[in-house]
Amino acid sequence: MYPFSVLPNVDLQPGDPIADQCLQRGLTTFHQACHWVKALPYEANSSSEDSLILFKEDCGNCTTKHGAIARLAAAHNLPITKHLGFYRLNDNIVTGVNAILRPHGLDFIPQSHCFLVYGEYRVDLTAGNCNGKNKTIEDYDFVLQVAPDLTEAQHKSIYLEHLHRYYAIAPQLATLGEDKVFELLISCDRQLKYQCSIMASRLAHAAGQL
């Protein structure tokens, strides 16, 4: 992954919903908008179907952060797109996940993550956020370009399509079935939020020692 400084920079023009929200906050360039979005607290929004919600809730996750910037790029004719990558979630990424998966015979569970693509560069605006992950994800099994905003139904359809591709890699996933896999994903998401809370507590403690 690369810093957002590799992306082209332009002055923001009014008339686009995302640009208008940025301009109201004194963000006048594309890079300033990227910096603001990256700095937002990492947190799931009440809905991820419209990335404008970032500006209402002052937080976001990979879905809404990259969705907003991909929309802003499209409005300014910048060749920057949002991509969805599928990777193998285990303890290397989120501590405590293996304890959830191993009783079901799994070494990993497929999970997805969003990022931006500009030519040969990949940019993750959640890198460095207090997001519960041990590291920035660099290795993906499958990557596809997606629209800046997707409905929950579209997200689920894309996940199921790629889950079936993972059956050849981990046949136990097919044995468990789709419903059980989604149940495990929910448990892993709870573990991620728990790890995020631990990270936030450690950061607050470290700041208090300064």
Instruction: Give, for all 210 residues of the chain, the pLDDT tens digit.
Output: 999 999 999 999 999 999 999 999 999 999 999 999 999 999 999 999 999 999 999 999 999 999 999 999 999 999 999 999 999 999 999 999 999 999 999 999 999 999 999 999 999 999 989 888 999 999 999 999 999 999 999 999 999 999 999 999 999 999 999 999 999 999 999 999 888 877 666 655 555 655
**CA–CA distance, 97 with 103 (Å, rounded to integer):** 11
Q: How many domains does the chain have?
A: 1
Dihedral angle of Cα 88, 46, 27, 121, to the nearest 10 degrees = 10
The DSSP annotation for 145-204 comes to EE-SS--HHHHHHHHHHHHHHHTTT-HHHHHH-HHHHHHHHHHHHHHHHHHHHHHHHHHH
Range of the domain at 158: 4-209
Q: How far apart are CA 141 and CA 139, in angstroms?
A: 7
Residue 111's H or E segment, with its range, is: strand 109-118
